[in-house]
Amino acid sequence: MKTLTSAPVTNRTLRSLGHELEVDEHSFGWLEDSSSVRNDPAALQKRMDENGYLYIKGFFPREVVLEARKVLVETLAKDGIFEEGKPLIDGILKEGVHPKFHTTAWKNQPAINRVVFGPEVHQFYSAFLGGTIRHFDYIWLRTMGCGHGTPPHCDIVYMGRGTHRLYTAWIPYGEVPLEVGGLMILEKSHLQADRIRNYLNSDVDTSCTNIPGRDGWKHGGQLTNNPVSLRQKFGGRWLTSEFQPGDLLTFRMDTIHGSIDNTTQRIRLSTDTRYQRSDEPVDERWVGENPIGHGPDAKLGRIC
């Protein structure tokens, strides 16, 4: 008997954390582009409620994002991570160099601030949230080399001490085809938040002071290290895109996301930044000139 199999969405083999992603149409798909409604706050709200994310292709002027890429690769080049003799702008990493984050290269960079705190973002979130907005000062700069992507997680566990009406903006600096490993979102996962309520209520900077041997920090923030079994459990598809400079992907604090492994020597440069209404409480770990972040001053002990 002939078995019915659904068509693959891509012919590429994709992995996340080393696990081969199922790429049939029930398991994998493309993010929906909302650029046609980018100036319609009611439509944006409705889509955010339904999908847990908004993907807006061509949100920023391309040249503004490419200027930020130039500044970033020039700054990162000082660490000696790029192969010599190749155009710097291509960001070709030396063999054996596997960076993931950079904690300082984003600081005091007008070209990056122009993107992440510029007029497009400001206008967008003000309209979307219906009031004056503010951002976290900390900028998460990802410099992903060949190797594993980011484990599935929800952002709230890293930044939940203020309002939960907080949105992440994920912004690629350059093309991110599938093999370079962009962000992926687990379809409608925010609608299953009740299944992971304990996880969503946790805070990576809290430790259990009453349990001997567990007075280290509770967890690294990931939901799992297996994006494939997670999807099988939750249903829905892993959604991603072949990202272009200028694209914006914004999502909720309880939307499950992770990223695809980079199988190339090309650096995947992206930032993630956060926005909220300014009349709502803010998570103090991420504001100010030198945010304390997950450093020792952020740690809270509690009785578990």
Ligand X SMILES: O=C(O)CCC(=O)C(=O)O
How far from chain centre, in Å, is Cα 302?
A: 29
Distance (Å, whole) CA 41 – CA 163:
20
Pairwise CA distance, residues 195 & 177, whole Å: 32
270 binds ligand X (CB under 6 A): yes
For residue 163, count other CB atoms closer than 10 A to its CB.
Answer: 15
Query: Least CB distance from residue 298 to ligand X, whole Å?
Result: 18
Residue 128: CB minimum distance to ligand X, A: 17
Stretch in the footprint of ligand X (CB under 6 A) among 81-89, 114-122, 149-157, 202-210? 149-157
Query: Is residue 240 at the binding interface for ligand X, with CB under 6 A as the rule?
Result: no
Task: Choose from Fe ion, ligand X, none: what does 149 bind? Cβ within 5-8 Å by kind.
Answer: ligand X
Residue 183 interacting with ligand X (CB under 6 A): yes
Nearest approach, Cβ of residue 249 and ligand X (Å): 8
By C-beta, is 9 or 17 nearer to Fe ion? 17
Cβ 143 vs Cβ 76: under 8 Å = yes
Short-list 100, 190, 185, CA closest to 145: 100
Q: Does 150 bind ligand X (CB under 6 A)?
A: yes
Residues 112-125 as b/e (b if ≥16 CB within 10 A, e otherwise) read bebbbeeebbeebb
Q: Which partner, Fe ion, ligand X, none, binds residue 170 by CB below 5 to 8 Å per kind? A: ligand X
Q: Which positions touch ligand X (CB under 6 A)?
A: 142, 149-150, 155, 168, 170, 183, 257, 259, 270, 272
